Structure 1
Amino acid sequence: MENSIKVVSIVGPTASGKTKLSVELAKHFNGEIVSADSMQIYSGMQIATAKPTKAEMDGVPHHMMGFLPPDKTYSVASYVNDASKCIADIHSRGMLPFIVGGTGLYVDSLLNNISFSDDKRDEEYCSRLRKIGEEDGTDRLLDMLSEFDPESAQRLRGGRNIKRIIRAIEFYKTTGKTITEQIKESHNIPSPYSAVKLGLNCRDRQVLYDRINRRVDIMLDEGLLEEAQRVINSELSYTSVKAIGYKELIPYFKGSKSLNDCVEKLKMETRRYAKRQITWFKRDTEINWIYIDEYNSFEEIYSYAKAVIERG
């Protein structure tokens, strides 16, 4: 599209190597990175969210990371608004914006210019819905949603993300419009971006699962237990306390389960999350997939990704 801003998006499941690849590519293409991770936005949540360290960033500026206190909630609409400003600023300085992360809703909403109206929120109603979800299960909420927005219910059934299901119900209650209608209306507004899309994955799922298991072990070595205890004992938002890496360790802190059992649960939940991420991103036919287990070295992966960006 004429006058559109060129961006590169790098997506994929957790532990697939997005950070290293994006940093190397950003250094080569004179780029800066805009994070698309719904948990890395929070400050003080370094290890569990796999936020890149200063050494890993290697001098490449990273945006949309660690700017929000963990007691605050944050919406997709806020992300699109804030990330768009970052991209415009990066572009205005002659740099190439890289959108990097594993939160599919953030990436899609940003690149496709989908807006979610945030004019009206009903926190009390959301709390009631959360209680229903906790007492009766996610299926009860999905049944409620399907009564007036079966399309959204079907779309959200796979990921079973209770926060998004509650938002879809609350959105209809407060605006009189379904999320499905809102998305369709948003699609009528052209995207300001021309995106080259890269996706990292493993052809052999076990290779990815092994990488995830190793990452969890490294997180524990780096102090995940101490971080989790601090976060859990703080007055934090519902969202941040529910982050993978914290909630699985609660039974250990309460003395009801062994550390080993909780760590195994954490690994399992992270693997499940990765599977949901893959399912989400696989719907986008524009993504150039790089199966990292089919390459002999990082240099080969980097060379291929660089060639895709140069063609795009």
Structure 2
Amino acid sequence: MKEKIIVIVGPTAVGKTSLGIQLAKALDGEVINGDSMQVYKQLDIGTAKVTEEEAKGITHHLIDIKQPDEPYTVADFKADATKKIKDISSRGKVPIVVGGTGLYIESLLYNVSHGGKAEPNDQFREEMQQIVDEQGRDYLHQLLREKDSSAADSIHKNNVRRVIRALEVIHETGELFSDFQSERQLEPVFDAFIIGLTTDRDVLYKRINERVENMIDNGLVDEAKLLYHTVPKDSQSTKGIGYKEFFPYFETKQEWDETVALVKQHSRNYAKRQLTWFRNRFDVDLWVDLVADSKQLEEVIEIGRKHLESD
């Protein structure tokens, strides 16, 4: 029998954390983090990490499990989250996976490795980064297109880390990165009920802008400084939106207003990509707009309960 789980996905600033807690309270569940940045200790504000007060006693897993200079891969998440699901289920509680990192959720639900069989090759990555520095992102993306056009079609040129990873997989395994993408199982590994949160685009963008302002007021810049001064610049944690935009500001290469505007812009762009990802690659069982109508919460809880009780 597949373990029954609930999964909450959607763009940033749409209320995933809150819904996860409310469902966990109503259905006797525990939350498993599905956000790639919340695994890092000390990065609380910029990752919108749940506070003890917000958690209301609900147990949250896979938060604060890595130092900012440590890597954490899709394969790591897949293995860790699978263990947590089995543990939570064995104790008679409901695993509730909450997050906006599409690669993480897809790897967990559909057993996709995303090239996880290829070990990291630091020398190769440095060589590729040097190509970017000297010849630009377009040139690197063209290299990928020549080797694997399908992968190039699916990875934006600005996602340099992902382009390098695709090239690295090809280099290390001799197989196309896109072949790993096509290994996705048709049926989810778990008996998952997937809830997608969404809202009107203008409303969402306003919420994102306000969230950025609140993060700055609450100490986001201090977290960015911590990364800038203590963590190697090629670390995964330094690539997070809300942190990397401040680095040119610290180097006096960028004005404050431009920096804040970039954080907001990149956050909005990310939210758009998240929505596209979840709409195109996931069989979401229920799309709901709790921002516009919070009264739908009771209906969402009831639908979730029916899923858990179904054969």
**TM-score with structure 2 setting the length:** 0.92
Q: 1:235 to 1:294 in 2, by over 3 A?
A: closer
1:280 is aligned to 277
Q: How many pairs does the alignment contain?
A: 304
1:77 is aligned to 75
Task: Find the aligned partners of 1:120 and 1:49 in 2 and give their Cα distance.
Answer: 27
Q: 1:220 to 1:60 in 2, by over 3 A?
A: same
1:50 is aligned to 48
List per-residue Cα deviations over 1:242-296 (Å, max 9, x = no partner).
211112122332233332221111111111111111111111452121123441x
Q: Secondary structure at the match of 2:287?
A: strand
Q: Secondary structure at the match of 2:253?
A: coil
Q: Which letter maps to 1:138?
A: R
The answer to whether structure 1 residue 146 and structure 2 residue 142 are counterparts is no
Superposition CA RMSD, Å:
1.8
Task: Find the aligned partners of 2:245 and 2:191 in 1 and give their Cα distance.
Answer: 39
The answer to whether structure 1 residue 163 and structure 2 residue 161 are counterparts is yes
Corresponding residue to 2:257 among 260, 269, 281: 260
Corresponding residue to 1:309 among 304, 307, 311: 304
List per-residue Cα deviations over 1:60-87 (Å, max 9, x = no partner).
1111111011111121111111111111
Task: Find the aligned partners of 1:197 and 1:180 in 2 and give their Cα distance.
Answer: 25
CA shift for structure 1 position 201: 1.1
2:108–2:189 contact (8 Å) kept in structure 1: no
Task: Find the aligned partners of 1:138 and 1:292 in 2 and give their Cα distance.
Answer: 39
Q: Secondary structure at the match of 1:37?
A: coil
Task: Find the aligned partners of 1:179 and 1:119 in 2 and give their Cα distance.
Answer: 10
Task: Find the aligned partners of 1:160 and 1:94 in 2 and give their Cα distance.
Answer: 44
Q: How does 1:1-312 map to 2 (within 5 A)?
A: 3-115=1-113, 116-118=115-117, 120-157=119-156, 160-185=158-183, 187=185, 191-202=188-199, 204-236=200-232, 237-284=234-281, 286-287=283-284, 288-295=286-293, 298=294, 300-312=295-307
Task: Find the aligned partners of 1:62 and 1:166 in 2 and give their Cα distance.
Answer: 32
Task: Find the aligned partners of 1:301 and 1:161 in 2 and give their Cα distance.
Answer: 36
Gaps of 5+ in 1: none
2:10–2:100 contact (8 Å) kept in structure 1: yes
List per-residue Cα deviations over 1:156-195 (Å, max 9, x = no partner).
13x842222211110111011122222334538x643011
Gaps of 5+ in 2: none
CA shift for structure 1 position 197: 0.5
Q: Which letter maps to 1:309?
A: G
Runs of 4+ in 1 over 4 A off after TM superposition: none
Task: Find the aligned partners of 1:88 and 1:160 in 2 and give their Cα distance.
Answer: 37
CA shift for structure 1 position 229: 1.0
Task: Find the aligned partners of 1:186 and 1:283 in 2 and give their Cα distance.
Answer: 14
**TM-score with structure 1 setting the length:** 0.91
CA shift for structure 1 position 125: 0.3
Q: Secondary structure at the match of 2:254?
A: coil
CA shift for structure 1 position 111: 0.5
1:120–1:175 contact (8 Å) kept in structure 2: no
Q: Which letter maps to 1:171?
A: V
2:11–2:100 contact (8 Å) kept in structure 1: yes
